[in-house]
Chains A and B, each alone.
Chain A
Amino acid sequence: MLRRGGTVFLQQREASVFIVAIVLVLYFGIFSSAHASFFTKNNIANVADATAPFAIIAAGEVYLLICGEIDLSVGYIWTLSPFLMFFFNTYYHFPLFLAIVAALLCGALIGLINGALVVFLRLPSFVATLGTSFIIYGFTLTTSAAQEKSLPAGSAAGLGRYFGGFIWAEIIWAVVIILLAQLILTRTRWGLHTIAVGGNLVGASEAGISVARIKLGNFMATGLLGAVAGILEAFRVGTIDPSAGGYTPMFYAVAAAVIGGTALAGGSGTVIGAFIGMLVLAILQDGFALLGISSNPFLIILGVSIVAAMVANVYLTRLRRAGRS
């Protein structure tokens, strides 16, 4: 019975990264010299903040990776979206809520453009979104004159609280988005068709699935999530900063997805895994800081984790396929 339970657990794609997360929490929280400060409210909030926005864009990247694509520009949608909110609110006099909605819709629109370049012009998504990354970033710097903007007046105490101002707001958004994304992936037609498109493109279209619709939709969702992360971060940090976002969060999100058990080659993946993957990276970074270790070796550990996770994934997938594990 226990053995069977163990087998079922190991067959989950999230298994390896979940074990790593538990081990890290136990180490930093109980056995390390920094254990006294690990479970404090402030530290947990730090870990949550270092997880939430990355996990949000990782949710989008997981869908794209599953259907065989990637979006390099999502981090710059993150950069742009709070500026758009600011512009809509300040220059076009949109009420704050509508300005936020408009900025989010612009994120989805950029996603649609990314998707159209890939689906209709048949560009590889790596190249298409590399191009749009620069366009979006250049647009942001041009329109903002590369200057920081302050949040719309009164927003931090009002609506902004729900969009990242309140200490746990961002992680709550992240968890809700992750759970919803995982539900859609595993329990709806959209998720099933996304996996089908990534697993067997020709087969999926022969079954009558609209590959274009699936890919466009997933690019739009990723763009939307990039905008969500950007706006949440602006309210959390308390300023609109042109140096926020960029390639780094995007690569962290992709790294989290891969560490969490999503195949870069497409066809399989898990949003929960990406969330735990991001949590692992955040805990590592936080734990290092608590122990007073320089953050420089963190990058080495990140790289090793990605490679190790890929090796583990390949190995576990082979076990799953062989029907034993």
Chain B
Amino acid sequence: MTTDTPGTGPIDDKQPVADATDATEVLRAEHISKSFGAVTALSDVNLRLNKGEVLGLLGDNGAGKSTLLKILCGFQAPDSGRIVLNGEQVSLKSVTHARSLGIDVVYQDLALINELSVFHNMYLNREYRTGPLLNNRKMKALAKQHLADMGVRIPSVDVEVAKLSGGQRQGIAVARSVYSDAKILLLDEPLAAMGVKEGALILSLVRDLKERGEVSIIIIAHNYAQVLEVCDRVNLLQHGEITFDKRSADTSVEELTDIVVAEYRAAMQARQNGG
């Protein structure tokens, strides 16, 4: 694991998070901002991701996690700031463009199509074809093999995904990204609304990927106990900025809780003062 660049701890506002010359860095976001009308979702986000690293991106609802994710995966353009991928500045034009560069996202709503079979979902918008026709046989065989490799157990790749459990669906969504040659995987709330057993399936999936070391992962979540389990490093996003950056080994659920409780206290104080 590449955790040889330790986090800097609670950080100064306007400084880049990491040394730009770090050789193992795969992704860096600098001074990213994004507003929607009068609402500022992100004010100044600096974030970096190392090769093979699992980074937990924590934050309250409305802290800007989803906006940051949409910018990193090419769904939206930032108002300002830049994204550096493998040492080169890139401007992500679309989800498809980002994906062609190896950045892929697994959304909270999974982006699976209930009405389609598992294997069609796995290859949605990157189907194998023979001439104009879909090569279903090839997609079925590959899907079966890939899911087995990743330990995602489903009754058959022919079933509609509507028939599967939440954990199985998530497993399919993650497998879909990994096997589309994603080098950077963005997982949006992968454990939300999931039972303990299902969550364990996803955590072990992430752990497997970490052991292989080929994929770098950003997990977006608000349950820090689960995130600390699998992440090498955690960042905390508050009011559109990264306010905290530490290796998981150097922090604890307690420390993170204290920060968030302090934020609540400050918010309540502000309410009282405001009338």
> What residues make up the interface of A, taking CB atoms closer than 8 Å to B?
183, 187-189, 192-193, 195-196, 198-200, 202-204, 206-209, 267-268, 320-321, 323
Other A-B contacts than A202-B111, A203-B109, 9 sampled, CB-CB below 8 A, are A187-B136, A195-B116, A196-B113, A196-B115, A200-B114, A207-B95, A267-B115, A268-B115, A321-B162
A186 CB → nearest B CB, Å? 9
Q: Are B134 and A203 in contact, CB atoms less than 8 angstroms apart?
A: no
Q: Are A192 and B127 in contact, CB atoms less than 8 angstroms apart?
A: yes
Selected contact of B124 from candidates A183, A192, A267, CB within 8 Å:
A192
Q: Are B111 and A207 in contact, CB atoms less than 8 angstroms apart?
A: yes
A selection of 9 A-B contacts at a CB cut-off of 8 Å is A188-B134, A189-B127, A192-B124, A196-B124, A200-B113, A200-B115, A202-B109, A267-B113, A321-B160
The 4 A-B residue pairs whose C-beta atoms are closest, nearest first, are A203-B111, A199-B115, A208-B96, A206-B111
Q: Are B134 and A199 in contact, CB atoms less than 8 angstroms apart?
A: no
Q: Are B133 and A208 in contact, CB atoms less than 8 angstroms apart?
A: no
Task: Name the A residues within 8 Å of B110 (CB-CB).
Answer: 203
Interface residue SS majority, chain B = loop
Task: Name the A residues within 8 Å of B162 (CB-CB).
Answer: 321
Q: Name the residue on A nearest B124 (C-beta).
A: A207
Q: How far is the CA of A195 from the CA of B115 in the complex (A)?
A: 7
Selected contact of B112 from candidates A183, A198, A200, CB within 8 Å:
A200
Chain A CB within 8 A of B63 CB: no
Q: How far is the CA of A323 from the CA of B159 in the complex (A)?
A: 9
Given the known interface contacts A196-B124, A202-B109, the answer about A208 and B116 at a Cβ–Cβ threshold of 8 Å is: no
Q: How far is the CA of A38 from the CA of B116 in the complex (A)?
A: 41
Q: Mark B97-128, 1 if CB is under 8 A from A, else 0.
A: 00100000101011111111000100011010
Number of interface residues of B (CB under 8 A): 28
Chain A CB within 8 A of B94 CB: yes
Q: Are B95 and A208 in contact, CB atoms less than 8 angstroms apart?
A: yes
Q: How far is the CA of A320 from the CA of B125 in the complex (A)?
A: 25
Chain A CB within 8 A of B132 CB: yes
Q: How far is the CA of A134 from the CA of B84 in the complex (A)?
A: 54
B106 CB → nearest A CB, Å? 10
Task: Name the B residues within 8 Å of A193 (CB-CB).
Answer: 125
Q: Name the residue on B nearest A190 (C-beta).
A: B132
Task: Name the A residues within 8 Å of B160 (CB-CB).
Answer: 320-321
Selected contact of B129 from candidates A189, A198, A203, CB within 8 Å:
A189
Q: Are A188 and B124 in contact, CB atoms less than 8 angstroms apart?
A: no
Task: Name the A residues within 8 Å of B133 (CB-CB).
Answer: 183, 187-188
Task: Name the B residues within 8 Å of A196 (CB-CB).
Answer: 113, 115-116, 124
Q: Are A208 and B94 in contact, CB atoms less than 8 angstroms apart?
A: yes
Q: How far is the CA of A321 from the CA of B94 in the complex (A)?
A: 34
Q: Which residues, 13 to 54 on B, are CB-close (under 8 Å) to A?
A: none
Given the known interface contacts A208-B95, A321-B160, A323-B159, the answer about A199 and B116 at a Cβ–Cβ threshold of 8 Å is: yes
Task: Name the B residues within 8 Å of A207 (CB-CB).
Answer: 95, 111, 124-125
Task: Name the B residues within 8 Å of A195 (CB-CB).
Answer: 113, 115-116
Task: Name the B residues within 8 Å of A202 (CB-CB).
Answer: 109, 111
Q: Are A187 and B134 in contact, CB atoms less than 8 angstroms apart?
A: yes
Chain A CB within 8 A of B265 CB: no
Selected contact of A189 from candidates B95, B113, B134, B159, CB within 8 Å:
B134
Task: Name the A residues within 8 Å of B138 (CB-CB).
Answer: none
Q: How far is the CA of A321 from the CA of B109 in the complex (A)?
A: 20
Task: Name the B residues within 8 Å of A188 (CB-CB).
Answer: 132-134
Q: Are A321 and B111 in contact, CB atoms less than 8 angstroms apart?
A: no
Selected contact of B120 from candidates A192, A203, A208, CB within 8 Å:
A192
Q: Name the residue on B nearest A267 (C-beta).
A: B115
